[in-house]
Copies of this chain bind each other. A is one copy, B any other.
């Protein structure tokens, strides 16, 4: 049966990225530092680059290889190793693998110590070209309380859910930090963390703690940048905060890319 994808063609354009996306597959996610594993659902994107004279890639091989390793634990180092294996199977030097998933931390309420799981989003990305690269993305929500509103008002201050994001790229030989460490550094950049369970004593604590620690969206990303810069092995990072303003229908956001 004819193999059209392998055909050679005459095009002036190499393809930077071709592959599969929006693919859900079970994932045994692993923290590279602590070894903690969680069974979750990954949303995968896997791609190769194609030179100008090769017509197509073999999409089904992405799924075959993913299936073959889907029972093994998968951390960001394994993500890079998987990308490297795909270079051989797909006859290319350039592979990029990305998987996003929901990860849970056990979080205790600040006063009653009631514990439950708090969701966050984690993304592993690895690519082989131009140098082997590992990228960790953490997305977690926190509380932001407005310094201006507090300063000018006789009582109260508007506050809101703030969605925080950090994208970290690591030096090639660097040890990876734990997901939970990055997450806790990130959420500590806002006015207060959020919690899965709060009893009344806890709610009082969080309300007052946030009131005592107001932060503009600009303050949040600066603190987050300072926190990320304390992590060993990080070669570059992006931090971002989006405040779901409780006084507006629109959102306010800020972003720092480091180094520029």
Contacts and interface: CB of A to CB of B under 8 A. Distances in A.
A221 B55 CA distance: 11
Interface in A8-46: 11-26, 38-41
A152 B21 contact: no
Interface stretch (A76-84, A85-93, A173-181, A202-210): A202-210
A247 B195 contact: yes
A225 to B, nearest CB: 5
A161 interface: yes
Contacts of A21: 242, 250-253
A102 interface: yes
A198 interface: yes
Interface in A197-231: 197-201, 203-204, 206-208, 210-212, 216-219, 221-222, 225-226
Given A117-B67, A247-B198, A156 B207 contact: yes
A159 B152 CA distance: 17
Contact of A247 (B17, B194, B247): B194
Given A218-B50, A255-B15, A200 B3 contact: yes
Contacts of A150: 156
Contact of A149 (B15, B50, B145, B207): B207
8 contacts: A2-B152, A13-B222, A15-B222, A21-B252, A26-B38, A67-B115, A198-B248, A246-B246
A182 interface: no
Given A40-B41, A102-B41, A154 B208 contact: yes
Contacts of A249: 23-24, 118-120, 141, 194, 196
A233 interface: no
Contacts of A117: 25-26, 67, 70
Given A41-B102, A56-B216, A199-B60, A247 B24 contact: no
